[in-house]
Amino acid sequence: MENKKLVEVKNLRTYFFVEATDKQITEHTENFDEKLNALYAGDKYLKGKVPAKAVDGVSFDIFEGEVLGIVGESGSGKSVTAYSITRLIPDPPGKIVGGEVIFKGKDLLKLSFDEMKDYRGKEIAMIFQEPMTSLNPVMKIGDQIIEVLLKHEKISKEEAFKKAVNMLEQVGIPAAEKRMKDYPHQFSGGMRQRVMIAMALSCHPALLIADEPTTALDVTIQAQIIELMLRLKKERKEAAILLITHNLGVVAETCDRVIVMYGGKIQEVADADSIFENPLHPYTEGLMSSLPDPDKPKQLLQAIPGIIPHILELPKGCKFATRCTKVFDKCWETEPDLIEKGKSHFVRCHLHG
């Protein structure tokens, strides 16, 4: 992969400040660094609350032309990571407390709210799990796409209309010109997701963030959307897609590289082939083996034991220690570093230290 870096995320930390019991407050507020101390001193809202470290020191790159997948279960921090890149973190309770997101040479986290507006939609676009909630129900979909175009590009209304029709055709909506006048509820779930994609791509963003784009869809419709995304990827070589999902099947079908997250940290990064063929982290392994495999003889599934601990009760050492079957003393004490193990295959585990 000789492509250029498009986005560089460095040591990103996004915390959510939540109410906690007294015991949790003493536990979680003793090791504050300067930055957190300053934050707490300057904000009355934070009194009596502790930081839940949803994303805690995440670094990765996104290269041009690739599909990068972030996999993890609910609460792993995968969505928060993506939302932090576009700075769509509701505040309160959330805050991006540290790190950098370098996009085309600029640190997005240092921009003002208004400057950020120029990036959202134009340079970085998002599509969401439930398209109905992200489309305006009382506006014709044509008008919604035209609105985005007019906001970010200096073109006339007529040009914008033509372009919108063109976009809808590209994402495979039949009779696109006629359907411009329809409202979101007149579309089916799959068609709505296509509209969302058309809208997201209308300004040719360099980065498309897709948050569980197929989860709400039926299998046959999901296959259509996956195929559409793969086709768009081929057509737009300079752009990248960041795909957030919990569905390993979708990852295998679409992604070039995969990040596995757990407990707000990256646990493993590798290209898709090596993640699936040679998972190094016990968590990644556990995820793979908990899927039923119809080609193997029937037996009980190899489930990962236990439940994801509450975000304030994650272990001090390795975040996965409470559920890991290969856990040993060191795992409880120190958190392993993310180290390179094989060609661009990184893993955070003492077994590989």
Could you list the residues that contact another protein (CB under 8 A)?
21, 23, 73-74, 87-94, 113, 188, 190-191, 218-224, 226-227, 246-253, 272-273, 276, 286-288, 290-294, 298, 300-305, 307-309, 313, 322-323
Shortest reach from residue 160's CB to another protein, in Å: 26
Phi, psi of 38 (to 5 degrees): -65, -40
Taking CA atoms, 28 is separated from 33, 45, 72, 263, 321, in Å, by 12, 17, 24, 16, 19
| Least separation in angstroms between CB 286 and another protein | 6
Please identify, using beta-carbon distances, which residue of 160 and 269 lies nearer to another protein: 269
Q: For residue 297, how many other CB atoms are within 10 A of its CB?
A: 5
Cβ neighbours of 118 (radius 10 Å)? 12
Q: Which is nearer to another protein, 41 or 307 (CB)?
A: 307
How far is it, in rounded angstroms, from Cα 197 to Cα 213? 9
127/250 with CB nearer another protein: 250
CB of 163 to another protein, least distance (A): 25
61 vs 271 by CB, closer to another protein:
271
Q: Which is nearer to another protein, 112 or 156 (CB)?
A: 112
Residue 296: partners with Cβ closer than 8 Å, 6 or more residues away: none
192 within 8 A of 165, measured Cβ to Cβ = no
* Contact (CB, 8 A) for 124 and 116: no
Which residue has 């909630």 as its token pair?
133
Q: At its nearest, how many Å lie between another protein and the CB of residue 116?
A: 9
Shortest reach from residue 90's CB to another protein, in Å: 4
Minimum separation from the CB atom of position 154 to another protein (A):
26
Nearer to another protein, 21 or 26 (CB): 21
Most distant CA pair in the chain: distance in Å?
67
CA atoms within 13 A on the CB side of 69: 26
